[in-house]
Amino acid sequence: MRSKILIRNLYKIYNEKKENEFFALKNINLNIKCGEIVIIKGISGSGKSTLLSLIGALSKPSSGDILVNEQNIAKLPDIFSSQYRNEEVGFIFQSFNLVDGLSVYDNVKAPLVLSNINQDELKKKINLALEVANIAHKSQQMVSNLSGGEKQRCAIARALVNSPSLILADEPTANLDKNNSLIFVDILKKFKQLNKTVVVATHDTIFDNLAFVDTYVNIEDGAII
Amino acid sequence: MSLFLLNDIVVFIFIEVILLLLLFISEFSVLKVLKYWDFSATTTFQYALEKRNYLVNTIIYFTVSVKIVLFIFFVKSLDELSLLVPGAMCATGVIGANSYGNILLLFKIFMLFLLSIWIIINKLDLESKVFPYIKEKYYLFSFIFVLTCIEFCLELFYFMNIPLSVPVFCCSTVFKLDNLPFELNTSGLLIIYYLLFVVILISSYYKKSIISFFANILFLFTSYYAVTYFFGTYIYELPNHKCPFCMLQKEYFYVGYFIWFSLFLGVFFGISPYIIESITLKKYTYLHKYCILFTTIFVALSTYFVVSYYLKNGVLL
Amino acid sequence: MINKNFVDFSILLLLKDKKEYLFSFFIFTFIVFLASSILFISDSIKHDLFIALDKQHQIIVKNTKSGRYTPLSEEHIDSILQISGVDNVKGKVDGYYYFAQDRRYFHIVVDESLDEHSMIISSEIKSILAKFKYTTQFNFLTQDGITSLDIKKVIKSNIISNDVILVNEDIARKILNMDEDEYSYLDVLVPNNSEIDFISLKIVDLYPDIKVKTKNDLKSDYEYVFYYKGGIFMILYIVSMISFFILLKNQISSVFGEKKREIAIFRSIGFAIKDIIFLKFIQNSVVALCSYFLGVFLAYIFVFIFGAPLLKNIFLGHDASHIIFTPIVDVKTLFVMFIFTVIPFLASILLPAWKIAVEDMSEVIK
């Protein structure tokens, strides 16, 4: 399914109407078309992660609308926003956010246990995601024993397992060396081929001037410039 | 202090206190929501209120499951108590041992009905994206909370006032022959019983909630008398044993539980569509088929004992 | 509906964190163990009492004089036999012998099958006698001198038989210093159960001093004492249990607290608040059920195989060391135990589970 994000007059304010009131995002307007790859650039603290978490319904905006597939996710009750995160969005976090003490396979399984699918289908989906992320050979390893690059590939497999149409990546290369960062750029290209809509928040220069990226957005002090 | 009479009673009261405590915690959240709820607001406070919704849900689900188990436990304990209370042969004597018993039993059934209706409205509320019935369901919750407190007091009064020296009446004296209301005789009762059954079937089939509502309420009372004064005698195979409780005992293969639960479930699914429709102002006919199912099981089960007795013995009692 | 994949996954996570749950597992097992031991003991005692009661006749008649029990005579038997509805009246000899050396009373009960030189004693009495070197026989000190009896057999001590010595009727009269026509109590046989109450009123009419107990009276008395004491015990137990549960709740809250980040991860990949609460509920139900079964199992071994040391003395006093408990496990007792322990346990995790589930999940993005 093709995805489209339309953001209108988006504000995120912390400690609203208090002394230490802080505008994390100010009047953001953004239109992301289906299958686009968008890189949001900005220094840390500029608000790009906040924007990403709002698009991913991890937190709720102070005002404004976020329309994904023409559905406003800004004020969705928890059950629906969770369903949205589960089925429509794949997250790739800076610190990978894998569950320690579980194997790669079980980590990738986690998003699938919410839907009542049979065992065969479950296995098929997990194995496919492991193949795409190129981590199938380590599927029975504990995630704590993996290297940084492998951890990220595991996280990518988990993001892909429910075949979401939207991929959100927050500083994906911050914990990787140069080599693995380049691999990630390749994976980004793969996403483009799979026709996923991808939003990457980063300050890494490795993403500069990539031919397959559709839009670069620069963000500073919570506003797009 | 007959509260300490039986371990079961102490355990029962203890669990009821825990449930009351949980409901009290959620009532606190409920009042907050009722006072400050504003769905259009985008404040952190409003989102915190939305989260409280899930606490209330969890507690209610837990309460209902426990209440159902406790209800069975309550009936079993009454049976046990009948060994201690002089004169009582089964739960009838114990329930009738003081003026609180029968009210308490009715109250308990009514509470289970209300809680189940709450769960259905809650489900409808959660299926929507804008919490359309949140105020209605929380007013209903507050009502349930007040009733639970009253129920708890009734329980305390009831257990504290079970007489241990004065003999109580048992079912043989409580349910005398001429005890039918409105001077009905048995055949009249049976005609009404089967007539109401047909009305329920038709009204449920055509999803006429309001007819089903009234027919089921009438059916509940008719069935109580029909089972106690007519069908029961065939279960016990004794013409003068008229008792709604003895059939819960092991001697009768616990058939009473099936009979009474199928009746209550059938009636519940029969009356709840109308109540839900009047709260949500929308058609809700999904439950009618369960009403048909359980009422049919109930009628078939009660009729079965009469038919099998007739086939075995060639005569009626 | 319950989703199998979800349940499997919850248990997988539980096994991963089993160390964190160990503490609550042990505490809860202990709670269940203690409660079921107590219920097992009381059920077993009750069972023995009622078995003994069942063997008795419908009406027991005792004589009193100025408020104390005195023997009955043949005359009493004759006049009670006159009452219509009475089938038979048996005079019984029964009483207590004071064994001064150990400051204990022995319960002397008649057994017609024994001869004049032998007796049957309980294992408790055997050990008392052994203390004073009576291993094969015992000398009763009576008004007429010493009566010496051989120990023929030793029976198990249960709640009824603990202090019992069975002897021949003539010997019993000798030991208890009773005349030929004296009886401790009368056993009245009434074939028709519905006449029992009426006949006992008649007997009291005949002799105002006489105390009449029907079998049902006795049963009610037993139950009353039993349940009443049991109930008070239960209250004490609840008080101590509440403190255990507070301990448990704190422990669970802190375990949940450590898992904040993990919960946030699950939330970010699509677990709703209700899913997290359900997940915690499943995990704790598994813990509770395992503890419950382990606790009940341990209690069974403790009470019925090891004879419940320590706890027994609380119930029965110090002279109970030889009492054994008849193994009785009633499904209803297990059900009561389940309600009494598992439901409060699960109730105590609802609030912490909700608290952790609604935590802000934006920390995953930092």
Tell me the CATH number at A87. Answer: 3.40.50.300
DSSP A43: -
Closest CA to C345 of C237, C242, C234: C242
Query: In chain C, how many domains are there?
Result: 2
Query: In chain B, how many domains are there?
Result: 2
A89 Cβ contact list (under 8 Å, min separation 6): A56, A57, A164, A166, A167, A168
Rounded Cα distance, A149 and A175, in Å = 9
Note the Cα C240 to chain centre separation in Å: 20
Q: What are the backbone angles phi and psi of residue C133, rounded to the nearest 5°?
A: 65, 15
Quick check: helix, strand or coil at residue C152?
strand
Q: Are residues B259 and B123 in the same domain?
A: no
Which has more confidence, B273 or C227? B273
Q: Are residues B86 and B183 in the same domain?
A: no
Which has more confidence, B171 or C179? C179
Q: Decide if pLDDT at B23 tops 90.
A: yes
**Residue A222 resides in a domain:** no
Q: Are residues B225 and B115 in the same domain?
A: no
User: Are the Cβ atoms of B73 and C335 closer than 8 angstroms?
Assistant: yes
Please answer whether residues C331 and C65 qualify as being in contact, where contact means their C-beta atoms are separated by less than 8 angstroms. Answer: no
In this predicted structure, what is the pLDDT of residue A65? Answer: 92
Strands (E), chain C: 59-65, 68-70, 72-73, 88-92, 94-99, 104-110, 118-122, 137-142, 145-155, 164-167, 182-183, 185-189, 211-214
Residues from chain A contacting residue C260 (CB–CB below 8 Å): none
Q: Are residues C144 and C242 in the same domain?
A: no
The shortest C-alpha distance from B50 to chain C (Å) reads: 10
CB of A59 within 8 Å of a chain C CB? The answer is yes
Q: For residue A204, with 0-12 CB atoms within 10 Å meaning exposed, 13-18 middle and 19 or more buried, which class applies?
A: middle
Of A86, A94, A122, the CB nearest to C269: A86
CA-based nearest residue in chain A for residue B51: A78
Poorest-pLDDT segment among A45-49, B137-141, B173-177, C313-317: B173-177
Q: Are residues C227 and C132 in the same domain?
A: no
pLDDT (tens place) for every residue of chain C, 366 residues total: 678 899 999 999 999 988 888 888 988 898 889 888 888 888 888 888 888 777 776 788 888 777 788 888 888 888 888 888 888 888 888 888 888 888 888 888 888 888 888 898 888 888 888 888 888 888 888 888 888 888 888 888 777 778 889 888 888 888 888 888 888 888 888 877 777 778 888 888 888 888 888 877 777 777 766 666 666 677 777 777 787 778 777 777 777 777 888 999 999 999 999 999 999 999 999 999 999 999 999 999 999 888 877 777 776 666 666 777 888 888 888 888 898 889 999 998 899 899 989 988 877 766
**Cα-based angle B172, B174, B176 (whole degrees, multiple of 5):** 70
Quick check: helix, strand or coil at residue A223?
strand
**Residue B278 resides in a domain:** yes
**Residue A183 resides in a domain:** yes
In this predicted structure, what is the pLDDT of residue B1? Answer: 47
Q: Are residues B140 and B8 in the same domain?
A: yes
pLDDT, mean of residues B28-53 = 91
Mean of all residue pLDDT scores within chain A: 91
pLDDT, mean of residues B269-292 = 87
Which has more confidence, B184 or A106? A106
- Of C180, C197, C215, the one marking the end of a domain is C215
Band of pLDDT at residue B139, cut at 50, 70 and 90? very high
**Residue B166 resides in a domain:** no
Q: Are residues C240 and C355 in the same domain?
A: yes
Partner A, chain C 284-343, Cβ-Cβ below 8 Å = none
Please report, as a single letter, which amino acid is at residue C146: I
Between strands A197-202 and A37-41, the pairing is parallel
Q: Are residues B142 and B183 in the same domain?
A: no
pLDDT over 90 for what percent of chain B?
40
- Of B127, B160, B193, the one marking the end of a domain is B160
Please answer whether residues B199 and B215 qualify as being in contact, where contact means their C-beta atoms are separated by less than 8 angstroms. Answer: yes
Which has more confidence, C331 or A130? A130
Rounded Cα distance, B26 and A15, in Å = 27
User: Are the Cβ atoms of A78 and B129 closer than 8 angstroms?
Assistant: no
**Residue B168 resides in a domain:** no
User: Are the Cβ atoms of B43 and A63 closer than 8 angstroms?
Assistant: no
**Cα-based angle A40, A43, A44 (whole degrees, multiple of 5):** 100
Q: Are residues C92 and C195 in the same domain?
A: yes
B149 Cβ contact list (under 8 Å, min separation 6): B20
Q: pLDDT tens for residues A143-190?
A: 999 998 999 999 999 999 999 999 999 999 988 999 999 999 999 999
- Of C171, C197, C215, the one marking the end of a domain is C215
**Residue A129 resides in a domain:** yes
Q: Are residues C211 and C330 in the same domain?
A: no
Q: Are residues C48 and C138 in the same domain?
A: no
Query: In chain A, how many domains are there?
Result: 1
**Residue B165 resides in a domain:** no
Q: Decide if pLDDT at A2 tops 60.
A: no
In this predicted structure, what is the pLDDT of residue C227? Answer: 66
Residues from chain B contacting residue C340 (CB–CB below 8 Å): 11, 14-15
Q: Are residues C185 and C65 in the same domain?
A: yes
User: Are the Cβ atoms of A53 and C267 closer than 8 angstroms?
Assistant: no
User: Are the Cβ atoms of B42 and A60 closer than 8 angstroms?
Assistant: yes
Q: Are residues C46 and C27 in the same domain?
A: yes
**Residue B167 resides in a domain:** no
Residues from chain C contacting residue B62 (CB–CB below 8 Å): 346-347, 350
In this predicted structure, what is the pLDDT of residue C246? Answer: 80
Rounded Cα distance, B181 and C216, in Å = 36
CB of A15 within 8 Å of a chain B CB? The answer is no
Of C6, C267, C361, the CB nearest to A113: C6
User: Are the Cβ atoms of B51 and A80 closer than 8 angstroms?
Assistant: no
**Residue B71 resides in a domain:** yes
Structure token pair of residue C309: 């040391």
Quick check: helix, strand or coil at residue C155?
strand
Q: How many residues does chain B have?
A: 317
User: Are the Cβ atoms of A82 and C9 closer than 8 angstroms?
Assistant: no
Please answer whether residues A141 and A170 qualify as being in contact, where contact means their C-beta atoms are separated by less than 8 angstroms. Answer: no
pLDDT, mean of residues B146-175 = 82
**Cα-based angle A179, A139, A196 (whole degrees, multiple of 5):** 60
- Of B135, B160, B185, the one marking the end of a domain is B160
Partner A, chain C 244-263, Cβ-Cβ below 8 Å = 262
Rounded Cα distance, A140 and A151, in Å = 13
The shortest C-alpha distance from B292 to chain A (Å) reads: 30
Note the Cα C60 to chain centre separation in Å: 25
In this predicted structure, what is the pLDDT of residue A3? Answer: 56
Band of pLDDT at residue B3, cut at 50, 70 and 90? low
Please answer whether residues B261 and B273 qualify as being in contact, where contact means their C-beta atoms are separated by less than 8 angstroms. Answer: no
In this predicted structure, what is the pLDDT of residue A1? Answer: 44
Q: Are residues B25 and B142 in the same domain?
A: yes
Range of the domain at A95: 35-61+75-215
Q: Are residues C68 and C200 in the same domain?
A: yes
A161-171 burial: b if 16+ Cβ within 10 Å, else e: bbebbbbbbbb
The shortest C-alpha distance from C282 to chain B (Å) reads: 13
Please answer whether residues A192 and A31 qualify as being in contact, where contact means their C-beta atoms are separated by less than 8 angstroms. Answer: no
Structure token pair of residue B155: 């329980």
Range of the domain at C94: 58-215
CA-based nearest residue in chain C for residue A79: C272
pLDDT, mean of residues B132-152 = 93
Rounded Cα distance, C286 and A49, in Å = 39
Residues from chain C contacting residue A94 (CB–CB below 8 Å): 365-366
User: Are the Cβ atoms of A97 and C270 closer than 8 angstroms?
Assistant: no
The shortest C-alpha distance from C339 to chain B (Å) reads: 8
In this predicted structure, what is the pLDDT of residue B249? Answer: 80
Considering only CA atoms, give the Rg of chain A. Answer: 17
Q: What is the CATH number of the domain that holds C136?
A: 2.40.70
- Of C167, C200, C215, the one marking the end of a domain is C215
Using alpha carbons, list the distances in angstroms from residue C24 to C40, C134, C251, C290, C295.
24, 52, 7, 11, 13
First-residue to last-residue Cα distance in chain C: 35
ipTM of this complex prediction, to 2 decimal places: 0.93
Range of the domain at B289: 175-313
